[in-house]
């Protein structure tokens, strides 16, 4: 049976009296000076000065409190300290996000690359400010801490304080922490920036109208209905990425090696301690999630086999996974995509639509399809300005529409939190991906609900199940690969050929052997930016966590559409709390450490597979 949609009134589009024209390029000027301007250099100097002043002030206060005077920190002093920390760290976040936007829109611009390096050089100062804050919190004795946590002036920021006090135990010893943060500028962070330069230089040569042309990786997709086109693009991409295999292998080895060294000196339990802490999850919740997914793999393989048959293929390869079922897909121009998303958001939750309209019309989105942009897409926050910016390359496809909805879901999350204290606007990637994927699901379900033709319905289901394969199989292979690299790197460096082999082994396990023996992607570890993130190791499992949590939220919305929108906004506010586990428990009563919860979250996916198989069988009979 086709999965239940929201009750019809829930999705009735509101009439529009005016068709807007939404800009396809963003505006960055109001967020701060542009790199290369004198004002930008002055801004960096002000940030350095403020971070230094904060660190010195905390150290002075800490020394005074630990002296023989017997003085203890007061709630108001601690509240003031947290407010100062939010202000100085928020300003640093603002400049990091802004420079990242400029560099992403023009990847070959040397001024922007140098600005990224200049901003990275400030990071040790932010780290030292963090260390000073953590040391002070750690030095407060338990009895005094209990008294402080009941103070009215600290209630608004209490989750931040409790989380920081807990995480302080994971940091390096004091005599090493500041040294490591400075060394990281020319260590972990430098290797990450090197990857950005290497990947930014890659050009993929393809044939277009009889001419050989070079494309940026972000302009290449394997979603053509023509298999020979997909295959040629795939092998051209393999060749292009393979040309930087050796420097990327060195980069990955040194990134992982440096992390393992830091883990050892900090006496952390494992290489997963930091990513689990950063994402505010437990090992038990992630293990339960993968167990439930593994139990669902056979159903995903059934979908892939049915798709293989519909495509008329003897076997399915990596470059077939995103192939459309229709020989021709309609072009959805950017304006139509915007209107479609706004109509859906309006029917679901008017505040979400009002925000999206504001973001689209205010030039918060860079979506133009042009050479020279970095690959991928993102939403980045500017908390001091109470704004966000979205980066993507829109190509007129259903996938592009989904990506736009996804990133607007991220942006709405930040918008809901914009008036909270700055330190309470931080949430883990696990819950960030919940908000974005939920917005994407709302739009996708609405579009399926409008399908009256079975072939169109099947194509719409296919697009949703492509996402399921990505989150449950593709992300799983990244997680497995990351584990293997960290385990083996502890024993020595890995060659590019070894990394190719580990990647294929991870793909075979994650995809349950569903692809042709010659159809794997050995260079995936080179092309995937997420393996090279300097400050966020294991940038993979949070996507799956957020995706499945969003599917469980979809079930909640389907069962209780009237009350859900307000509860959803409250959940978004709860995401800044002490853990993702707590946010799910307090907002909806979810037990994210149980396999049964994740089995429930997989139910909408099982329903879509069931519908896909039924319709494909019906069409095959016709």
For the chain, the residue count is: 622
Task: Write the CB contacts of 256 (distance below 8 Å, at least 6 apart in sequence).
Answer: 485, 486, 489
* Any domain includes 93: yes
Burial of 293 (0-12, 13-18, 19+ CB in 10 A): buried
**Rounded mean pLDDT of 496-507?**
98
Q: Look at residues 281, 283, 275 and name the one whose alpha carbon lies nearest to residue 539.
A: 275
Over residues 157-167, the mean pLDDT reads 92
Query: CA-CA distance, 34 to 18, in Å (whole number)?
Result: 34
**Nearest CA-CA partner of 25 in 392, 406, 439:** 392
Locate all alpha helices (DSSP H) within 66-141, ordered by sequence.
75-105, 110-120, 123-139
The answer to whether residue 64 sits within a structural domain is yes
CA atoms within 13 A on the CB side of 188: 21
Separation of alpha carbons 477 and 509, rounded Å? 7
Q: Average the pLDDT over 207-229 and give the result.
A: 84
Q: Tell me which residue of 291, 313, 316 sits closest to 472, measured CA to CA.
A: 291
Helix ranges (DSSP H) in 269-397: 273-278, 283-310, 334-348, 350-361
Provide the CATH number for the domain around residue 139. 1.20.140.70
Q: For a pLDDT cut of 90, what percent of the chain falls above it? A: 75
147 assigned to some structural domain = yes
Segment among 205-219, 237-251, 591-605 with least mean pLDDT? 205-219
Average pLDDT score over residue span 421-440: 94
3-state secondary structure of 389: strand
pLDDT at 15 over 50: no
Q: How many other C-beta atoms can be found within 10 angstroms of the C-beta atom of residue 225?
A: 14
| Structure confidence at residue 622 as a pLDDT band (50, 70, 90) | low
Q: Report the C-alpha gap between 139 and 129 in whole angstroms.
A: 16
Residues in a beta bridge with 378: 391
pLDDT tens figures, 513-550: 999 999 999 999 999 999 999 889 999 999 999 999 99
- Tally of domains in the chain: 1
- The pLDDT of residue 214: 83
Is the pLDDT at 202 greater than 70? The verdict is yes
Domain-located, residue 144: yes
Top pLDDT among 411 and 107 is at 411
Q: Is residue 153 part of a domain?
A: yes
Question: What pLDDT does residue 16 have?
Answer: 41
Can you tell me the mean pLDDT for 317-337?
Answer: 89
Q: Residue 267, by phi and psi: left (phi above 0), alpha (psi -120 to 50) or beta? A: left
pLDDT at residue 66, as a whole number: 64
Q: What mean pLDDT comes out for the span 420-446?
A: 94
Residue 461: pLDDT over 70 = yes
DSSP label at residue 384: G
Q: Residue 101, SS3?
A: helix
Three-state secondary structure call for residue 391: strand
Within a domain: 366: no
Sign of dihedral through CA atoms 401, 611, 540, 385?
Answer: positive
Q: Is the pLDDT of residue 333 over 70?
A: yes
What does the pLDDT average to over 470-490?
98
**Is the pLDDT confidence value at 215 over 90?**
no
Instruction: Looking at mean pLDDT, say which of 16-20, 169-173, 193-197 comes out highest.
Output: 193-197
- The band of 177, judged by pLDDT with boundaries at 50, 70 and 90, is confident
Q: What angle (nearest 5°) sits at the alpha carbon of residue 195, between those of residues 190 and 201?
A: 130
Q: Which among 504, 490, 337 has a CA at the least distance from the CA of 406?
A: 337
Please give the pLDDT value at position 69. Answer: 59
Which string of DSSP letters, residue by residue, matches 433-493?
Answer: HHHHHHHHHHHHHHHHHT--SHHHHHHHHHHHHHHHHIIIIIHHHHHHHHHHHHHHHTTS-
The predicted pLDDT at position 276 comes to 96
Give the pairing type, strands 387-391 and 365-366.
parallel
Cα–Cα distance list, 50 to 84, 179, 222, 422 (Å)? 9, 20, 48, 16
C-alpha 29/C-alpha 477 separation (Å) is 40
Contact indicator for 394, 362 with CB cutoff of 8 Å: no
Residue 381 bridge partners (DSSP):
388
468, with CB counted inside 10 A (0-12, 13-18, 19+), is: buried
**To the nearest whole number, what is the mean pLDDT of the chain?**
91
Model confidence pLDDT, tens digit, residues 353-393: 999 999 999 999 999 998 888 878 899 999 999 999 999 99
By CB neighbour count within 10 A (0-12 exposed, 13-18 middle, 19+ buried), where does 453 fall?
A: exposed
- Percent above pLDDT 70 for the chain: 96
pLDDT average, residue stretch 403-409: 96
pLDDT of 14 over the 60 cut: no
Task: Please check whether residue 257 lies inside any domain of the structure.
Answer: no
d(CA 551, CA 465): 13
Confidence of residue 7 (pLDDT cuts 50, 70, 90): very low
Q: Quick one: DSSP state of residue 34?
A: P
DSSP-assigned states of every residue in 202-260: --EEEEETTEEEEE-GGG--S--S-HHHHHHHHHHHHHHHHTTHHHHHHHHHHHHHHHH
Distance CA 484, CA 505 (A): 10
- 4 pLDDT above the threshold of 70: no
Position 89 in a domain: yes
Tell me: pLDDT of 85 over 70: yes
pLDDT of residue 175: 82
Domain extent for 155 = 32-186
pLDDT at residue 586 tops 90: yes
């Amino acid at each position: 049976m086709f999965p239940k949609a929201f009750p019809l009134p829930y999705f009735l589009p509101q009439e529009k009296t005016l068709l807007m024209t939404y800009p396809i390029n963003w505006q960055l000027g109001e967020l701060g000076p542009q790199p290369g301007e004198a004002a930008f250099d002055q801004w960096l100097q002000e940030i350095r000065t403020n971070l230094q002043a904060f660190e010195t002030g905390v150290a002075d206060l800490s020394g005074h409190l630990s002296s023989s005077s017997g003085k203890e920190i007061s709630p108001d002093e601690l509240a003031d300290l947290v407010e100062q920390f939010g202000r100085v760290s928020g300003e640093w976040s603002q400049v990091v996000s802004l420079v990242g936007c400029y560099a992403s829109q023009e990847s070959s611009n040397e001024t922007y690359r140098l600005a990224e390096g200049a901003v990275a050089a400030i990071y040790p100062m932010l780290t030292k400010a963090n260390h000073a804050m953590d040391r002070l919190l750690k030095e407060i004795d338990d009895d005094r801490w209990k008294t402080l946590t009941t103070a009215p002036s600290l209630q608004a920021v209490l989750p931040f304080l409790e989380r920081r006090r807990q995480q302080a135990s994971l940091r390096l010893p004091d005599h090493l922490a500041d040294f490591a943060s400075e060394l990281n500028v020319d260590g972990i962070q430098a290797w990450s920036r090197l990857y950005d330069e290497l990947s930014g230089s890659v050009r993929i040569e393809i044939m277009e109208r009889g001419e050989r042309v070079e494309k940026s990786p972000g302009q290449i997709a394997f979603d053509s209905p023509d298999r020979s086109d997909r295959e040629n693009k795939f092998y051209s991409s393999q060749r292009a990425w393979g040309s930087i295999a050796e420097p990327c292998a060195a980069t990955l080895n040194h990134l992982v090696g440096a992390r393992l060294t830091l883990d050892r000196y900090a006496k952390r339990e494992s290489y997963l301690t930091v990513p689990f802490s950063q994402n505010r999850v437990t090992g038990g919740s992630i293990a339960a999630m993968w167990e439930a997914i593994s139990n669902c793999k056979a159903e995903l393989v059934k979908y892939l086999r049915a798709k293989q048959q519909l495509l008329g293929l003897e076997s399915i390869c990596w470059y077939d996974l995103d192939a459309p079922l229709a020989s021709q897909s309609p072009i959805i121009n950017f304006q139509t995509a915007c209107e479609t998303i706004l109509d859906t958001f309006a029917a679901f939750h008017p505040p979400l639509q009002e925000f999206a309209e504001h973001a689209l019309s205010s030039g918060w989105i860079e979506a133009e399809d042009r050479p020279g942009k970095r690959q991928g897409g993102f939403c980045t926050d500017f908390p001091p300005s109470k704004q966000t910016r979205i980066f993507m390359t829109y190509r007129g496809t259903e996938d592009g529409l989904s990506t736009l909805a996804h990133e607007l879901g991220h942006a709405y999350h930040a918008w809901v939190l914009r008036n909270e204290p700055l330190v309470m606007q931080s949430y883990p990637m696990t819950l960030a991906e919940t908000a974005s994927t939920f917005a994407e699901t709302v739009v996708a379900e609405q579009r399926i609900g409008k399908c009256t033709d079975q072939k169109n319905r099947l194509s719409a289901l296919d697009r949703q199940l492509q996402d399921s394969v990505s989150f449950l199989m593709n992300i799983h292979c990244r997680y497995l690969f990351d584990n293997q690299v960290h385990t083996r790197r502890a024993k020595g460096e890995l060659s590019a050929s070894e990394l190719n082999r580990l990647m294929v082994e991870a793909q075979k396990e994650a995809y349950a052997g569903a692809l042709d023996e010659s159809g794997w992607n050995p260079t995936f570890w080179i092309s995937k930016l997420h393996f090279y993130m300097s400050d966020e190791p294991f940038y993979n499992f949070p996507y799956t966590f957020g995706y499945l949590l969003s599917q469980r939220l979809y079930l909640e919305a389907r069962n209780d559409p009237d009350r859900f929108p307000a509860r959803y906004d409250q959940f978004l506010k709860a995401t800044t709390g002490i853990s993702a586990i707590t946010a799910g428990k307090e907002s909806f009563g979810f037990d994210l450490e149980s396999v049964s919860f994740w089995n429930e979250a997989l139910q909408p996916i099982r329903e879509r597979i069931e519908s896909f198989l039924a319709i494909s069988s019906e069409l095959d009979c016709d």
